[in-house]
A and B are shown apart, each in its own frame.
Chain A
Amino acid sequence: MHYSWSFLLKRFGLFLLVIWSAATLNFLVPKLTPRDPLREKLLAQAAKTGYIPAGFNEMVKAYEVQFGLDQPVWKQYVRYMNNLLHLDLGYSIAYYPKTTLELISEALPYTIAVLTLATVVAFFLGTLLGALMGWERSSFFVRHILPSFLMLGAIPAFVFGLILVYFLAFRWKLLPLTGAQSANMVSAFNLPFILDLAKHAILPAVTVIMTSAGGWAIGMRGMMVTVQGEDYMTFGEAKGLKGWRLFYKYGVRNAILPQVTGLALAFSYIVSGSVLVELVCRYPGIGSVLADAIKGLDYGVIYGVVFVLTVTIAVAMLIMDLIYPLLDPRIRYEKN
């Protein structure tokens, strides 16, 4: 048994606390804006027809009742919390009568598929490259030339995405410019459709991989260098172990621990960090939903996306904390 009951209880308590306080924060902060999204929306619609109808204020009132915005704030809060518990995230103001859950669940698969895959690929690619760069026996090219590519990681992903979009999609027309699938494609589970999906996903995925692999490589390279100074490495070498065994079982195995902690954090940034990438690649993921909701101050959708985001992060952290003692047997969660 790696962990005690009191640790599990405490850790789970923290998990609930983070979710609750983040949910509360998400509720309160947008309330501080003096803007009235409902009125703005209705005014914009009225402006389209050219005149403001006679009962405009009554109409706004009726909609406020519909969305529960006429209630005192604490009642809205209770309702909000209760709804969250039932996974009912309410209607979107901008895309009424669509519900927030519908908007999110339409976009979420794209984001999860593309960006989770990209993050995982970037993690393995970057970690392996970093390990090789930090390994004393690697070739000159790997140790001294390759690290200059780490600079890619310094460039903001969406700026890099802009460059890729310009050359790959616009100039050379290798990849589609916008969307997640071609307009004339029929959704079906067959090869052309899947190829079409993949073709649209390449741009955002490659953007994320190219810019985040550098970060993983830097971390791994630093850890590899540190690990090589440890006594067990000298011992392993003295025993005459083969190079690859020393590299994987002694070097990588020990150097990878902080990387795994980083992976939980990286998953948590998938959604918020990809908003801009999706924007540049015009990819209809959850980042685009959040960006739209933010622009239109669409309370329900902002809450929903942020709540989904918060839960993802909290769950990732929780899992990491539980897995960590299995990866690193030196760590035991016990009272001392």
Chain B
Amino acid sequence: MLFLRYLRRNVSLTIGLVILLLLILFTLIGSLYINAEKDPYPLAAPPRVAPTLSYCPKTKPNCPTPKAYPFGTDSQGRDLFAVGVVGTWLTIRIGVLAGVIGLLVGMVVGFTSAYYGGTYDLIVRWLVDVLLTVPNLLILVVIASVLGSETLGLNQEALIISLTAWMGPARLIRAQVLSMRERPYVMMARLNGMSNMSIIFRELIPNLLPYLGASLVGAVTGAIFASIGLAALSLGTLREPLLGVTIFWAQQQSAMISGLWWWYAVPVSIIVLIFVMLFMISAGLDELANPRVRRAE
């Protein structure tokens, strides 16, 4: 109840959560109407059907059961409604998986380097600075080609993406912890003889929770972006109906010139929804973490 009342004040968080709810409903209800093993893959449907609710093959004179392709089909015979349903779920899954791994690693690195300081901190900071100068795409490309993109599964792709997802959170958390460890309550805990570990877990992490939430959303956003970017460069798994992969195939088969606008429209609109959702949630969390921002309302 209290949460609902808070949501009335935090508009962006509400909008974000509503979009998230809609996307979840779309995948849940949509999955009742499709065969997830078959429909989002090639040759599951007649090719190049414009969005329609009653499709009948021309060869049959009076078709008894017209089939619905509300989002149309692509030129390789995927049912784009099924692609939308499965692709949304798979894309978010990759993002969340990579984002969570990245955040966990970043947390460990950020906490330890800020808390212990010294040479370790110097090395970490230097490593993060250097790694951030090398484009993520290059690192991802090299690793994707080491493993060979034919054998690459969705989970492996998430793991690869998480390799470049930890530096951002590490830097952010390090900065926050640096400012927090000088606060009086931490000094108090230290004077009371608390160990480093329990200071981290009982004093610092609870205070960092809003930042951790925000940086998780950031990491997930980055990971989804990376998965779409990899696909656009023809890397990673190209067989699974990820949203980025769908855009890649549409590009590859010149969907625009063939007039199959819906082939682009489906993945692009879902991607826009996903990113607006993440943006709204992160703006909402920001308001939660920084009460100062509230004054802008």
Partner-B contacts on A (CB < 8 A): 17-18, 21-22, 25-26, 29-30, 32-35, 133-134, 151, 153-156, 158-159, 162-163, 165-166, 170, 218, 221-222, 225-226, 228-229, 268, 271-272, 275-276, 279-280, 290-291, 294-295, 297, 302, 306, 309-310, 313-314
Instruction: Say yes or no: B137 contacts A162, CB within 8 Å.
Output: no
Partner-A contacts on B (CB < 8 A): 126, 129-131, 133-139, 141-142, 145-146, 225, 228-229, 232-234, 247, 251, 256-257, 261, 264, 268, 271-272, 275-276, 278-280, 283, 290, 292-293, 295-296
Instruction: Say yes or no: B293 contacts A225, CB within 8 Å.
Output: yes
User: What is the distance, in angstroms, from B137's C-beta to the closest C-beta of chain A?
Assistant: 6
A276 to B280, alpha carbons, bound, how many Å? 24
Instruction: Say yes or no: B292 contacts A225, CB within 8 Å.
Output: yes
A295: chain B residues within 8 A (beta carbon): 233-234
User: What is the distance, in angstroms, from B31's C-beta to the closest C-beta of chain A?
Assistant: 24
Instruction: Say yes or no: B134 contacts A310, CB within 8 Å.
Output: yes
- Interchain pairs with CB closer than 8 A, number: 113
Closest 10 CB pairs of A and B: A154-B279, A272-B135, A154-B275, A225-B296, A294-B141, A21-B130, A313-B133, A33-B146, A29-B142, A22-B133
Instruction: Say yes or no: B271 contacts A156, CB within 8 Å.
Output: yes
Instruction: Say yes or no: B145 contacts A33, CB within 8 Å.
Output: yes
User: What is the distance, in angstroms, from B245's C-beta to the closest C-beta of chain A?
Assistant: 14
Instruction: Say yes or no: B133 contacts A268, CB within 8 Å.
Output: yes
Knowing A170-B256, A294-B137, the reply to whether A158 touches B232 (Cβ < 8 A) is: yes
B146: chain A residues within 8 A (beta carbon): 32-34
B247: chain A residues within 8 A (beta carbon): 159, 162
A151: chain B residues within 8 A (beta carbon): 276, 279-280
Chain B residue with minimal CB distance to A177?
A: B256
B275: chain A residues within 8 A (beta carbon): 154-156, 159
A268 to B134, alpha carbons, bound, how many Å? 10
Knowing A166-B264, A279-B233, the reply to whether A35 touches B276 (Cβ < 8 A) is: no
Instruction: Say yes or no: A159 contacts B130, CB within 8 Å.
Output: no
**Secondary structure at chain A's binding surface: helix, strand, loop or mixed?**
helix
A18: chain B residues within 8 A (beta carbon): 129-130, 133
A287 to B233, alpha carbons, bound, how many Å? 11
A33: chain B residues within 8 A (beta carbon): 142, 145-146
Instruction: Say yes or no: B134 contacts A306, CB within 8 Å.
Output: yes
Knowing A154-B276, A229-B292, the reply to whether A159 touches B133 (Cβ < 8 A) is: no
Instruction: Say yes or no: A134 contacts B228, CB within 8 Å.
Output: no
Chain B residue with minimal CB distance to A275?
A: B137
Greatest chain A CB density within 10 A among B135, B137, B228, B280 is at: B135
User: What is the distance, in angstroms, from A293's C-beta to the closest C-beta of chain B?
Assistant: 10
A32: contacting residue among B142, B251, B256, B264, CB under 8 A: B142
Instruction: Say yes or no: B134 contacts A26, CB within 8 Å.
Output: yes
A133 to B296, alpha carbons, bound, how many Å? 9
B271: chain A residues within 8 A (beta carbon): 155-156, 159
A14 to B232, alpha carbons, bound, how many Å? 35
Knowing A151-B279, A154-B279, the reply to whether A302 touches B138 (Cβ < 8 A) is: yes
A151 to B276, alpha carbons, bound, how many Å? 6
Instruction: Say yes or no: A306 contacts B232, CB within 8 Å.
Output: no
A218: chain B residues within 8 A (beta carbon): 283
Instruction: Say yes or no: B295 contacts A229, CB within 8 Å.
Output: yes
A166: chain B residues within 8 A (beta carbon): 256, 261, 264
A221: chain B residues within 8 A (beta carbon): 296
User: What is the distance, in angstroms, from A153's C-beta to the closest C-beta of chain B?
Assistant: 8
Instruction: Say yes or no: B134 contacts A17, CB within 8 Å.
Output: no
A155: contacting residue among B135, B139, B272, CB under 8 A: B272
A226 to B264, alpha carbons, bound, how many Å? 41
A226 to B296, alpha carbons, bound, how many Å? 9
